[in-house]
Amino acid sequence: MPALAMLLSIVGIPIMILWFLGIGQMVSKRYYEALECRLTTEHLKYKKGILVKVEKTIPLENIQDLTFIEGPILKAFNLAMLKIETAGNSGSGSADMRLIGVEGAQDFRNLVMNQRETLRKGGGEGEESTQAILKDIRAILQRIEEKS
């Protein structure tokens, strides 16, 4: 245990000095400036990273759960955390996407859920029109076969 404490202090002190010199704040500021989460009509798009950039696109119809978490520290800064779970990942216990420090998280959650419901309702009408088009194509193909 004393060796671990010494190792932490040997590594931690230079990191702490760098942080207070402003390098830590600069890196964290660039990281948060690079964060982006955008809601489109059919997807939720997420980008993050400075050196290693990660981009995720989650179709709204795959979203199973959007969990809103607000602890005392986040609440003091009027922030919250959103965990987004999809159909393929709902049984694993981990979130597909985790957004920490979201301002207006309740409103964003409601927007995502409303857009998902709009997409689901609109998706049924799209399927009916696709079925009608396919029936028309079948009828045309049958007429072409009868002429040959």
pLDDT at 55: 92
**Domain extent listing, the chain:** 35-147
Q: Examine the pLDDT at 97 and tell me if it is beyond 80.
A: yes
Asked if 119 contacts 62 with a C-beta cutoff of 8 angstroms, the reply is no
Pick the residue with more confidence: 64 or 92? 64
CATH for 35-147? 2.30.29
50 DSSP assignment: S
Q: Examine the pLDDT at 91 and tell me if it is beyond 60.
A: no
Q: From the CB of residue 61, how many other CB atoms can be counted at a distance below 10 Å?
A: 13
Asked if 109 contacts 31 with a C-beta cutoff of 8 angstroms, the reply is no
High-pLDDT (> 90) share of the chain, %: 3
Sign of CA dihedral 15, 82, 93, 89: negative
Q: How many residues does the chain have?
A: 148
Contacts of 43 (CB under 8 A, 6+ apart): 57, 58, 59, 60
Whole-prediction pTM value? 0.60
Q: In this structure, what token pair is assigned to residue 85?
A: 């779970």
Pick the residue with more confidence: 46 or 122? 46
Q: State pLDDT tens for residues 2-50.
A: 677 767 778 778 877 878 888 888 888 888 888 888 888 889 998 988 8
d(CA 38, CA 29): 20
pLDDT band at 93; cut points 50, 70, 90: low
Q: In this structure, what token pair is assigned to residue 10?
A: 């040997």
71 DSSP assignment: -
Average pLDDT over residues 119-137: 71
Averaged pLDDT of the chain:
81
131: left (phi over 0), alpha (psi -120 to 50) or beta: alpha
